[in-house]
Amino acid sequence: MKFLLTFSAFIFTLCFSSFVVANQPNIVFFLIDDLAYADVGFNGGKEIHTPNIDKLAHGGTILESHYVQPVCSPTRAAFMTGRYATKTGVYTIVRPHAQWGLPLGERTLANALHDAGYETAITGKWHLGEFKPEYLPTARGFDHQYGHYFGAIDYFTHVRDQSQDWYRDDKPLKEEGYSTHLVAKEACKIIAGKNKDKPLFLYVPFNGVHSPMQVPDSYLKPYNNISGARLKLAGMLAAVDEAIGQIVTALENSGQRENTLIIFSSDNGGPKPGINTPLRGFKGSTLEGGVRACAFANWPGHIPAAVTIKEPMHMIDWYPTLVKLANGKLEQKLPIDGRDVWPMLTKGEKSPHDAILCVQAPTHAALRMGDWKLQMNSSADDSEESEEATPKKKAKAKAQPNTIELYNLAIDIGEKTNLANQEPERVATMRAKLTEMLKDAVQPGHVGKEVVAPK
Considering only CA atoms, which of 14, 19, 72 is closest in space to residue 265? 72
Catalytic residues: 72, 127
Query: What is the Cα–Cα distance from 97 to 130, expressed in whole angstroms?
Result: 7
In degrees and rounded to multiples of 5, residue 261 shows phi and psi of: -85, 125
Q: How far is CA 318 from the centre of its chain?
A: 9
Cis peptide before 304 (omega within 30 of 0): no
Exposure of 122 by Cβ count < 10 A (0-12 exposed, 13-18 middle, 19+ buried)? Answer: buried
Length of the chain: 455
Give the DSSP per-residue string, 130-156: -SSGGGSGGGTT-SEEEEESSSS--TT
Q: Return the amino acid letter for 171.
A: K
Cβ atoms of residues 327 and 116 within 8 Å: yes
How far apart CA 332 and CA 415 sit, in angstroms, is 38
- Sheet with 292-293: strands ordered across: 292-293, 66-67, 313-314
Sign, CA torsion 45/213/206/252: positive
- Give the C-alpha separation, 389 to 12, whole Å: 58
Strand order in 372-376's β-sheet? Answer: 356-361, 364-369, 372-376, 404-408
Rounded Cα–Cα distance for residues 223 and 95 (Å): 34
